[in-house]
C-alpha cells in the first residue's frame, strides 16, 4: 500500500466523521440549528437536549455508525492500514468537522462506534456502564468520562497494543473535550438529564 493510499483512507475516514449528524437532523426535520441552542455543541447530547429523545436517538446512532464505518473501511478494501487509525481519524473529524466550520461534538459516540467495529464486547460493556452511570448521576459528561476510564482499564487487560494506544488517545481526547463540564460539575452548574 502506497503512502498516498494511506492518506486517502485516512481522509475518507475523517470526512465520514465530519458529517454533522446533529446539524443535518436539526435543520432538515426541525428547522433548528442546534449550534444556536443548548450548549451549542453538535453532538448527540445537545441534540437530545434541543430536539428531543427521538431526534437525539437518530443522531447518536448516526454518530456511532460514522466511527464503525470508518474503522471497517480498511478491512472491507483489504488495505493494510490498521483499522483503528481510520477510526481515530473519524473521531477527530467528528470533533473538528470540515463540513461545520471545525466545530463539532466531543467524539464520545463516534469513539464508541470505532470500538463497536473493532472490539464489540468492550463497546457493549461501555454502553451498560454509561447507562448505569447516567441513571445514577444524571450527568452525560461524567458518564462519558467514566466509560473512557473503563475503556482504558479494559484494554490494558486485553493486551492489544494498537488498541491500548488508540483507546488511550480517544479517552484522553474525550476527557480533554469535557474539561469545561468537569468545572461545571464541581461548581454544581452542569445540567442534569431529566428523561431518565
Q: pLDDT truncated to tens, each residue of the chain (196 aa)?
A: 678 889 999 999 999 999 999 999 999 999 999 999 888 888 899 999 899 999 999 999 999 999 999 999 999 999 889 999 999 999 999 999 999 999 999 999 999 999 999 999 999 999 999 999 999 999 999 999 999 999 999 999 998 999 999 999 999 999 999 999 999 999 999 989 887 7
- 13-44 pLDDT, tens digit each: 999 999 999 999 999 999 999 999 888 888 89
pLDDT of 1: 66
pLDDT of 117: 98
Residue 55 C-alpha cell reads as 431526534
DSSP string, the chain: --HHHHHHHHHHHHHHHH--HHHHHHHHHHS--GGGSTT---SHHHHHHHH-HHHHHHHHHHHHHHHHHHHHHHHHTT--S-HHHHHHHHHHHHHS-GGGTT----SHHHHHHHHHHH-HHHHHHHHHHHHHHHHHH--HHHHHHHHHHHHHHHHHHHT-HHHHHHHHHHHHHHHHHTHHHHHHHHTT-SPPPS--
Measured CA to CA in angstroms, residue 114 lies from 102, 120, 194 at distances of 20, 9, 28
Alpha carbon distance 175, 158 (integer Å): 22
pLDDT of 40: 83
pLDDT of 194: 81
Amino acid at each position: 500500500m502506497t503512502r498516498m493510499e494511506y492518506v486517502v483512507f485516512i481522509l475518507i475516514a475523517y470526512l465520514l466523521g465530519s458529517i454533522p449528524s446533529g446539524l443535518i437532523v436539526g435543520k432538515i426535520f426541525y428547522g433548528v440549528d442546534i449550534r444556536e441552542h443548548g450548549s451549542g455543541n453538535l453532538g448527540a447530547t445537545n441534540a437530545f437536549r434541543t430536539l428531543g429523545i427521538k431526534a437525539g436517538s437518530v443522531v447518536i446512532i448516526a454518530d456511532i455508525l460514522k466511527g464503525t464505518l470508518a474503522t471497517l473501511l480498511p478491512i472491507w478494501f483489504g488495505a493494510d492500514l490498521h483499522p483503528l487509525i481510520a477510526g481515530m481519524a473519524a473521531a477527530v473529524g467528528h470533533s473538528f468537522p470540515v463540513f461545520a466550520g471545525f466545530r463539532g461534538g466531543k467524539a464520545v459516540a463516534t469513539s464508541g462506534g470505532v470500538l463497536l467495529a473493532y472490539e464489540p464486547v468492550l463497546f457493549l460493556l461501555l454502553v451498560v456502564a454509561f447507562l448505569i452511570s447516567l441513571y445514577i448521576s444524571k450527568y452525560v459528561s461524567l458518564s462519558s468520562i467514566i466509560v473512557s476510564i473503563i475503556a482504558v482499564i479494559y484494554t490494558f487487560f486485553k493486551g492489544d497494543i494498537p488498541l491500548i494506544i488508540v483507546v488511550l488517545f480517544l479517552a484522553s481526547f474525550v476527557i480533554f473535550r469535557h474539561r469545561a463540564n468537569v468545572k461545571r460539575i464541581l461548581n454544581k452548574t452542569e445540567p442534569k438529564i431529566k428523561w431518565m
